[in-house]
A and B are shown apart, each in its own frame.
Chain A
Amino acid sequence: RKEVEQDPGPFNVPEGATVAFNCTYSNSASQSFFWYRQDCRKEPKLLMSVYSSGNEDGRFTAQLNRASQYISLLIRDSKLSDSATYLCVVMGSGGSYIPTFGRGTSLIVHP
Chain B
Amino acid sequence: EPEVTQTPSHQVTQMGQEVILRCVPISNHLYFYWYRQILGQKVEFLVSFYNNEISEKSEIFDDQFSVERPDGSNFTLKIRSTKLEDSAMYFCASSDLGAGEKLFFGSGTQLSVL
Residues of A within 8 A of B (CB): 31-32, 34, 38, 41-46, 49, 87, 91-92, 96-104
Cα distance, A79 to B81, chains bound together (Å):
45
With known contacts A31-B100, A91-B99, A99–B45 Cβ distance under 8 A: yes
Cα distance, A29 to B10, chains bound together (Å):
38
Across the interface, name the chain A residue whose C-beta is closest to B47: A98
Report the number of A-B residue pairs with Cβ-Cβ less than 8 Å. 53
Neighbouring B residues of A100 by C-beta, 8 Å: 45
Neighbouring B residues of A45 by C-beta, 8 Å: 105
Contact (Cβ within 8 A) A42 B107: yes
Chain A interface main SS type: loop
With known contacts A32-B99, A49-B102, A97-B98, A44–B56 Cβ distance under 8 A: no
With known contacts A31-B100, A44-B105, A45-B105, A98–B43 Cβ distance under 8 A: no
Neighbouring A residues of B43 by C-beta, 8 Å: 38, 44, 87, 101
With known contacts A31-B100, A44-B91, A98–B45 Cβ distance under 8 A: yes
Contact (Cβ within 8 A) A34 B105: no
Query: How far is the CB of A87 from the nearest CB of chain B, in Å?
Result: 7
Cα distance, A41 to B45, chains bound together (Å):
17
With known contacts A43-B91, A104-B42, A34–B107 Cβ distance under 8 A: no
Contact (Cβ within 8 A) B42 A102: yes
